[in-house]
Amino acid sequence: MAAPLPAPRIVVASNNEEGKSAIARDQETKVFQPFGPNTSSFATLFSTDSFPVNNSAPLPPNTTTSIPRPSKNGTVFTTSDIPPRFTSAFHRTSTLDYMVVLKGEIVLRLDDGEEVTIREGETAVQRGTIHAWVNKTDQWCRLLFVMLEAEKAVLKNGKVLEDEFHPHKASQ
């Protein structure tokens, strides 16, 4: 089941051939459920392939059927809708993620068992940590992310923290 939330709309302002400001895109973004029905979904609103960004480059497509991840030196602007009473897989990505709760509330669960509730309008930053998103409510939650490609975290002993994905187990 898809979220009963409206599809995210993206409006992109750019410059026309005369150098005047113009709306380059105004449309709803398709939602993608890579883990099947009754799971979290994603809508990639905008992405770039480089940083600093080239504002003269053609607009990237605004739809995707892959899990949002920035390309090398890239960025991704995306939403994720989390169903009621749902827990995501524990995962780590080599990214810096800025997150804002747009609707509802979400629990950030870390692999050491620590949990913190983040409410509508509040934010979190992920710096290459293993984490899961837990919606403990009876309402859908919409999260907004800006993801930046980052170097893998390295511990003081030299161990490199690789990307990880651990499917959710009912006992978690």
Q: What is the mean pLDDT of residues 74-94?
A: 93
pLDDT top residue among 59 and 129: 129
pLDDT value of position 168? 64
Q: Retrieve residue 57's tokens.
A: 């480059």
Residue 30 burial (CB count, 10 A)? 15
Q: Lowest mean pLDDT of 60-64, 82-86, 118-122, name the range.
A: 60-64
Q: Retrieve residue 8's tokens.
A: 């995210």
The answer on pLDDT for 167 being more than 50 is: yes
Most confidently predicted of 24-28, 30-34, 61-65, 165-169: 24-28
pLDDT digits (tens, 9 = 90+) for 118-138: 999 999 999 999 999 999 999
Is residue 161 very low, low, confident or very high in pLDDT (cuts 50, 70, 90)? very high
Is residue 4 very low, low, confident or very high in pLDDT (cuts 50, 70, 90)? confident
Q: Retrieve residue 114's tokens.
A: 């620590």
Is residue 159 very low, low, confident or very high in pLDDT (cuts 50, 70, 90)? very high
Q: Under a CB-based contact definition with an 8 Å cutoff, are residues 79 and 102 in contact?
A: yes
Count of helices and strands (H, E) across the chain: 0, 13
Label the pairing between strands 131-135 and 105-110.
Answer: antiparallel
Place of tokens 């400001």: 21
Is residue 172 very low, low, confident or very high in pLDDT (cuts 50, 70, 90)? very low
pLDDT digits (tens, 9 = 90+) for 34-45: 888 888 999 989
Q: Under a CB-based contact definition with an 8 Å cutoff, are residues 143 and 99 in contact?
A: yes
pLDDT value of position 171? 43
Domains of the chain: 23-166 (2.60.120.10)
The answer on pLDDT for 66 being more than 90 is: no
The answer on pLDDT for 52 being more than 60 is: yes
